[in-house]
Chains A and B, each alone.
Chain A
Amino acid sequence: MAETAIELKGISKSFGAVHANRNIDLKIEAGTIHGIIGENGAGKSTLMSILYGFYQADRGRIDVAGKTVTIDTPSDAIALGIGMVHQHFMLVQNFTVLENVILGAEGEALLKTSIAKARSELERLERDYGLEVDPDAVIEDLPVGLQQRVEILKALYRGADILILDEPTGVLTPAEADHLFRILEQLKDEGKTIILITHKLREIMAITDNVSVMRQGAMVATRETAETSVEELAELMVGRRVLLQVEKGEATPGDVLLAVEGLTVKDSRGVTMVDNMSFEVRAGEIVGIAGVAGNGQSQLLDAITGVRKAVSGTVTLDGEPVDLTGAADPADLRERGMAHVPEDRHHVGLVLPFEENENAMLGYHRQAKYLNGPFLNIEAIRADAREKIEKYDIRPPDSRLRTANFSGGNQQKIVLAREMEQDPKVLIVGQPTRGVDVGAIEFIHKRLIDMRDQGKAVLLVSVELDEIRSLSDRILVMFAGRLVGERGPDASESELGLLMAGVEEKEAAE
């Protein structure tokens, strides 16, 4: 007979004028894995943050194990046995694993004895749950998958019976994700309750017992996982029938427009992040680089676009080589026909306090059409922005509005409109649909296919394997800074997953 571990009744939360959670009711049975699914911006993280005491609800009630409780701070939640593994890890980078685990649960004012006790307890937990990690390792030296183990150990160390995981697989290979799921099942068998927040339908179907769907701040439906399907969940998430695959014709690749040769990039600590990579992209094709986040993709993009110096390597644009070890200039690369939609639109691709029209020319602002000698040609700038707003259906259609006031999807459209309308030869795109709602995703995917059909060379870097597989004409897999394999668009997810995990080609074939 299932008990209720958590019940939320009538939870509402607004941030200023934005209603993040609207009158949400949710029941979670003890000893189950309960998924909460919804697209980006649906309110899932906010809801769980309220349960964890990070935020306080404006209205509503929380019951834990049948009793109404108030959770004002995370320490209240921890005391009730609720633990949370956050999407962006809450770890102190230059502390050791042990220091991170005891932070806040030290036990005594002097560290000496607390550390000794914590060490043995930690080692026990690691053994029991297969979460092995060296207690004295420094966090910033650990790969992301191991850092996540530390996050989980933190929660278990504090005696969590209810474990919330927020988008845990974004930084894992498919194999690591499977390992994680097995740990979650083991925890469930011991009677713990797991809440899994994700936007990935496949995961929900794989391990959850029940699933609740959120849309635009409201709880839309709850189903038993065994009795629903991917299609039904997708439709509930979006509110209409969804095309899960983009339609595209055959690619007809032409000349090589982008050639990267011998690219090696080190980060600020001297660690090699890109290791002697070489590849080509032809006109009229989309090349997708698949890989788990943190394997050098960001450094690759930064180096190719001139934002970061490489240790060695050249990029050749339509036959003209550019040395990337010197002062490769983003402005120069733009003039040669390279457009770049960066991974981080908030801090790199856009200047959020600027007006929309000021962002519509960001990076291209030296062009004569925007200038009058040293002065800005305000009329031309605004007219240009208005054209792009119309063409790309950017809403609200106000070129004088501060960019921060546009939604994620519309902000991304501003960036895309700017880069695509320059009619570049090569388009480099990083994480194009991160934090973007499904309607805009469809639009963006269509536009990328259009660019390909117009004969551009498109390099797509994304951690969303589905996106890579649905858009790319060729897939390159990146692991630990190296290209470890090339496949066609029909490659299976498991095959790509093995490559993404660093399994060598010949091993994978065995």
Chain B
Amino acid sequence: MDFFHSLILVLDSTVRLSIPLLLAALAGLYSERSGVFDIGLEGKMLAGAFAAGAAAAVTGSAWAGLGAAMLISIFLALVHGFASITHRGNQIVSGVAINFIAAGSTIILGQAWFRQGGRTPSLPGEARFSSIDLPFAEAVRDVPILGEVYSELISGHSLLTYAAFLLVPFTWWVLFRTRFGLRLRAVGENPAAVDTAGISVSWLRYRAVICTGVLTGMAGTYLSLAQNAGFVKDMTAGRGFIALAALIFAKWRPVPVMFACLLFGFLDAFAIRIQGTPLPLIGQVPVQFMQALPYILTVVLLAGFIGKAVPPRAGGVPYVKER
């Protein structure tokens, strides 16, 4: 029973840790499926986290935080879109630039506005997306096995968490059952085909990029308003890149993306669980190794198991009318 209880706790952590990755990865999905490579997920998520923390601190409303986060992420996404789509610039360079701009701005503005060393003030419960208890969660808690699963694992997450999981089938539906999704996938494979069919390649890609902004805003909000009680500098710590790796690992499909992010979340949760506990044979694992583990795993994933992941054919290539 004790093992089962630990398992539930680890799975619960898994869910919490995977949500920012999931939201960021879904964000990247829209962009990359349309042919715009986005390495700036990290920066948008960070900026979103800061905006959410700042707005929530000032207004006392978590929803205002979410709105602010989405606005700022959409803004940065449009900058990336402007550089990549309209000016056909190098998409990786543009993404890297946005990451730096976000990193520097969040610290400078944070210090200037709140004077707490780059963080936003700690938020009270009402200004956050706190955990929600699903109906009957308390009542069934003592039911063996199922009760604990329901009350610990399934209930008790924030609204954003449930929304994130719902976004997976929603994204699938958008991509494969709507006109917008058909065109989005087409423009990532052969933009010329879309252009000659009389559809604007730019506008389609801009819409994809805006979707990316919305979702990275949500991802950032989760970090500072659900997982934490406020923004702390550099709080994304590379998650945007890990999300990108998960996206590639999942071959740009919505449901595998969810599983990839859960996998990362699980490994993270597991690492935290065994920290401080000596393992058989290996003994005490150094804390720095645990810290490096997600990054090492990302490299292993990208190098080992992918084989040939075929990205959208027009990915990363600016669309120029052939002469």
The answer on A and B forming one complex is yes
Residues of chain A whose beta carbon lies under 8 Å from any beta carbon of chain B: 15, 52-55, 73-78, 84, 86, 88, 90-95, 99-100, 102-106, 108-112, 114, 154, 268
Task: Give the residue name and chain of the B residue nearest to A15 (CB).
Answer: B323
CB–CB B189/A54 < 8 A: no
Of A78, A88, A95, A112, which one neighbours B198 at CB under 8 angstroms? A78
For the complex formed, measure the closest distance between the CB of A136 and the CB atoms of chain B, giving whole angstroms. Answer: 15
- Contact code string B182-224 (vs A, CB < 8 Å = 1, else 0): 1101100110111111111000000000000000000000000
For the complex formed, measure the closest distance between the CB of B32 and the CB atoms of chain A, giving whole angstroms. Answer: 15
Determine the distance from Cα of A110 to Cα of B173 in the docked complex, in whole angstroms. Answer: 10
Q: Which residues of A contact B111 (CB under 8 A)?
A: none
Task: Give the residue name and chain of the B residue nearest to A104 (CB).
Answer: B197
CB–CB B190/A86 < 8 A: no
CB–CB A111/B183 < 8 A: no
Within 8 A of A (CB), among B280-322: 308, 313, 321-322
Of B183, B190, B196, B199, which one neighbours A54 at CB under 8 angstroms? B196
CB–CB B198/A74 < 8 A: yes
CB–CB A74/B177 < 8 A: no
CB–CB A106/B179 < 8 A: yes
List 10 tightest A-B contacts by C-beta distance, closest first.
A104-B197, A75-B198, A90-B193, A74-B198, A90-B196, A106-B179, A92-B189, A92-B186, A92-B190, A109-B179
Task: Give the residue name and chain of the B residue nearest to A112 (CB).
Answer: B177
CB–CB A110/B198 < 8 A: no
Determine the distance from Cα of A114 to Cα of B194 in the docked complex, in whole angstroms. Answer: 18
- Given A93-B190, A110-B177: A103 in contact with B195 (beta carbons within 8 A): no
Q: Which residues of B contact A94 (CB under 8 A)?
A: 189
Of B182, B195, B308, which one neighbours A74 at CB under 8 angstroms? B195
CB–CB A95/B186 < 8 A: yes
- Given A15-B323, A109-B180, A112-B177: A90 in contact with B189 (beta carbons within 8 A): no
Q: How many pairs of A and B residues are in contact by the CB < 8 Å rule?
A: 75
Interface residue count on the B side (C-beta < 8 Å): 24
B178 at the interface (CB under 8 A from A): yes
Within 8 A of A (CB), among B96-126: none
Of B179, B199, B308, which one neighbours A108 at CB under 8 angstroms? B179
Task: Give the residue name and chain of the A residue nearest to B189 (CB).
Answer: A92
Determine the distance from Cα of A76 to Cα of B200 in the docked complex, in whole angstroms. Answer: 12
Of A78, A88, A92, A109, which one neighbours B178 at CB under 8 angstroms? A109
CB–CB B321/A92 < 8 A: no
Q: Which residues of A contact B308 (CB under 8 A)?
A: 268
CB–CB B182/A103 < 8 A: yes
Determine the distance from Cα of A88 to Cα of B193 in the docked complex, in whole angstroms. Answer: 10
Determine the distance from Cα of A53 to Cα of B199 in the docked complex, in whole angstroms. Answer: 12
Within 8 A of A (CB), among B253-275: none
Of A55, A75, A84, A99, which one neighbours B182 at CB under 8 angstroms? A99
Q: List 9 A-B contacts (CB under 8 A).
A: A55-B321, A73-B198, A74-B198, A84-B196, A90-B190, A92-B186, A93-B190, A95-B185, A103-B194
For the complex formed, measure the closest distance between the CB of B319 and the CB atoms of chain A, giving whole angstroms. Answer: 13
Q: Which residues of A contact B196 (CB under 8 A)?
A: 52, 54, 74, 84, 86, 90
- Given A103-B182, A110-B177: A91 in contact with B193 (beta carbons within 8 A): yes
Of B189, B198, B322, which one neighbours A93 at CB under 8 angstroms? B189
CB–CB A111/B178 < 8 A: yes
For the complex formed, measure the closest distance between the CB of A80 and the CB atoms of chain B, giving whole angstroms. Answer: 11
CB–CB B179/A111 < 8 A: yes
CB–CB B179/A114 < 8 A: yes
Determine the distance from Cα of A103 to Cα of B181 in the docked complex, in whole angstroms. Answer: 11
Q: Which residues of A contact B322 (CB under 8 A)?
A: 88
Q: Which residues of B contact A102 (CB under 8 A)?
A: 182
Q: Which residues of A contact B198 (CB under 8 A)?
A: 53, 73-78, 104
Determine the distance from Cα of A110 to Cα of B179 in the docked complex, in whole angstroms. Answer: 6
Q: Which residues of B contact A76 (CB under 8 A)?
A: 198
Determine the distance from Cα of A106 to Cα of B177 in the docked complex, in whole angstroms. Answer: 12
Determine the distance from Cα of A73 to Cα of B177 in the docked complex, in whole angstroms. Answer: 27
Determine the distance from Cα of A401 to Cα of B195 in the docked complex, in whole angstroms. Answer: 34
- Given contacts A106-B182, A111-B182, 14 further A-B pairs with CB under 8 A are A54-B196, A54-B321, A86-B196, A90-B190, A90-B196, A92-B189, A93-B189, A93-B190, A93-B313, A103-B186, A103-B194, A104-B197, A110-B178, A110-B179
Q: Which residues of B contact A54 (CB under 8 A)?
A: 195-196, 321
CB–CB A92/B177 < 8 A: no
Q: Which residues of B contact A109 (CB under 8 A)?
A: 178-180
Q: Which residues of A contact B199 (CB under 8 A)?
A: 75, 103-104
Q: Which residues of A contact B178 (CB under 8 A)?
A: 109-111
- Contact code string B49-88 (vs A, CB < 8 Å = 1, else 0): 0000000000000000000000000000000000000000
Most A CB within 10 A of own CB, among B177, B190, B194, B199: B190
- Given A15-B323, A95-B186: A74 in contact with B197 (beta carbons within 8 A): yes
Determine the distance from Cα of A95 to Cα of B188 in the docked complex, in whole angstroms. Answer: 12
Of B177, B183, B200, which one neighbours A103 at CB under 8 angstroms? B183
Determine the distance from Cα of A118 to Cα of B185 in the docked complex, in whole angstroms. Answer: 19
